[in-house]
């Protein structure tokens, strides 16, 4: 029988979705599963977006331009200006979700064997996209005990060699909820300038910052505008994961030209998705305020509740809607699987993402999980109670 490719063998399974079969099986047994494993918001999509879909009146569902509709890109210019990100419509390429933006950035900027420095834990699919592009992820470790702040610049420089071509950050961060400070962003800027690197910056959670500290975009950093490739998506800010609309933004014309070749090869981004995303830009200010306020309440509910459970620790996330929590267990992956396959309390259980899948370094994150506070507070409170019961019953509990 023919062998699959080395790339196919190396491609990691998603730590977010790998336990899904166990969750479905639990539900088939009549168990209610509180899904804290995936960043799928449950808040309503803007009415303007739903109306755009309901009233979509094209007689032919045609290809859109490979870089996306100009009308949408022009409206995005106004959106980014609210965050002091000054771009033109020509700087923006619409992609099939933020995931495609990351993949196309890698394909356009990196050669096989080139290295990307990424703080870990990191969004697991970055590794998958790097493998797809033949690039190599080199991780720099952040720790839960230090709140996942960046290490000193010397730690970065220890990793830099002739194959290093880029630094990749997610700000605010998935999976930790960490928000990079001005000092940390300037540190990254100085490294990018000194070694002439690309800076890939995934900023899809900019709406969700829960501290007085400012949001520092990579596009705010002086002197590196041709090094920056910004990654964006409507999935989280508008609860529109399913329409698959993202964006790649850069002032670097050569990068845009290269990305456009990949865009043309995949033909066009989703037609109806763009209509919904464009309409979402007209959502009233109350939509964003209400969404933000709800996540503030959910964050407090989850983090306070986690830290009241004996043996559990979570730092306070400053952005996004995730946290990485340390549990008193021998192996978080075993525990998460056990919760779905062997445990229930009053017919309920919890689903979490084992955090080891967000690390590249073997052994890290072994007793940690990523949790998304994308459920209403009543469900979060119940999920926390069920989690506490699971930890009491788990045979591999560690004191």
For 31-42, the pLDDT digits (tens) are 999 999 988 899
Predicted TM-score (pTM) of this structure: 0.95
User: CA-to-CA distance for 345 and 141, rounded, in angstroms?
Assistant: 36
Q: Is the dihedral of CA 280, 281, 282, 283 positive or negative?
A: positive
- Say how many C-beta atoms besides its own lie within 10 A of residue 71's C-beta: 12
205, 317 in Cβ contact below 8 A?
Answer: no
Phi, psi of 25 (to 5 degrees): -65, -40
User: CA-to-CA distance for 38 and 133, rounded, in angstroms?
Assistant: 25
* Domain over 6-44+286-393 is classified CATH 3.90.1150.10: yes
Candidates 215, 279, 270; CA nearest to 246 is 270
220, 235 in Cβ contact below 8 A?
Answer: no
Q: Which two tokens stand for residue 261?
A: 């070749």
User: CA-to-CA distance for 370 and 177, rounded, in angstroms?
Assistant: 10
Q: Which two tokens stand for residue 255?
A: 């990068």
Average pLDDT, the chain: 96
CATH number of 60-280: 3.40.640.10
* Antiparallel, parallel or unpaired: β 115-120 and 164-170: parallel
Q: How far, CA to CA in Å, does 162 sit from each of 115, 126, 166, 201, 390?
A: 9, 21, 11, 22, 49
pLDDT tens for each residue of the chain, 399 residues long: 999 998 889 888 777 778 999 999 999 999 999 999 988 899 999 999 999 999 999 999 999 999 999 999 999 999 999 999 999 999 999 999 999 999 999 999 999 999 999 999 999 999 999 999 999 999 999 999 999 999 988 999 999 999 999 999 999 999 999 999 999 999 999 999 999 999 999 999 999 999 988 899 999 999 999 999 999 999 999 999 999 999 999 999 999 999 999 999 999 999 999 999 999 999 999 999 999 999 999 999 999 999 999 999 999 999 999 999 999 999 999 999 999 999 999 999 999 999 999 999 999 999 999 999 999 999 999 999 999 999 999 999 998
| Domains 6-44+286-393 and 60-280 alike in fold | no
Domain regions of the chain by residue span: 6-44+286-393, 60-280
172 prior amide bond cis, ω within 30: yes
User: CA-to-CA distance for 33 and 12, rounded, in angstroms?
Assistant: 25
CA 141 to chain CA centroid, Å, is 18
């Amino acid at each position: 029988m023919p062998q699959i490719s080395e790339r196919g063998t190396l491609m990691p399974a998603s730590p977010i979705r790998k336990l899904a079969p166990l969750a479905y099986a639990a539900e088939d047994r009549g168990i209610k599963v509180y899904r804290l494993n995936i960043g799928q918001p449950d808040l309503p999509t803007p009415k303007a977006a739903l109306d755009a879909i309901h009233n979509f009146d094209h007689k032919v569902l045609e290809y859109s331009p490979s870089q996306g509709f100009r009308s949408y890109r022009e409206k995005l210019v106004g959106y980014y200006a609210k965050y002091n990100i000054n771009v033109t419509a020509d700087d923006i390429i619409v992609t099939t979700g933020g995931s495609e933006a990351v993949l196309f950035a890698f394909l356009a900027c990196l050669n096989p064997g080139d290295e990307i420095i990424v703080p870990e834990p990191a969004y697991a699919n970055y590794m998958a996209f790097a493998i797809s592009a033949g690039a190599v992820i080199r991780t720099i470790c952040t720790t839960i005990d230090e709140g996942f702040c960046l290490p000193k610049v010397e730690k970065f420089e220890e990793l830099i060699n002739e194959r290093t071509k880029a630094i990749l950050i997610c700000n605010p961060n998935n999976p930790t909820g960490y928000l990079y400070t001005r000092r940390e962003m300037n540190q990254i800027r100085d490294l990018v300038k000194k070694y002439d690197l690309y800076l890939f910056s995934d900023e899809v959670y900019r709406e969700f910052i829960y501290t007085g500290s400012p949001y520092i975009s990579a596009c705010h950093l002086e002197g590196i505008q041709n090094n920056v490739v910004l990654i964006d998506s409507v999935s989280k800010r508008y609860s529109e994961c399913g329409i698959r609309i993202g964006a790649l933004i850069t002032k670097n014309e050569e990068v845009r030209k290269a990305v456009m070749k990949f865009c043309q090869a995949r033909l066009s981004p989703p037609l109806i998705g763009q209509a919904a995303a464009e309409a979402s830009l007209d959502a009233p200010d109350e939509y964003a305020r209400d969404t933000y306020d709800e996540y503030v309440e959910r964050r407090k509910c989850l983090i306070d509740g986690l830290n009241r459970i004996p043996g559990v620790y979570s730092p306070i996330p400053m952005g996004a809607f995730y946290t990485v929590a340390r549990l008193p267990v021998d192996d978080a992956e075993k525990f998460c699987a056990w919760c779905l396959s062997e445990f229930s309390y009053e017919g309920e259980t919890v689903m979490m993402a084992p955090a080891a899948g967000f690390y590249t370094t073997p052994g890290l994150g072994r007793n940690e999980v990523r949790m998304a506070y994308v459920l209403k507070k009543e469900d979060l409170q119940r999920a926390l109670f069920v989690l506490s019961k699971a930890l009491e019953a788990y045979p591999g509990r560690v004191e």
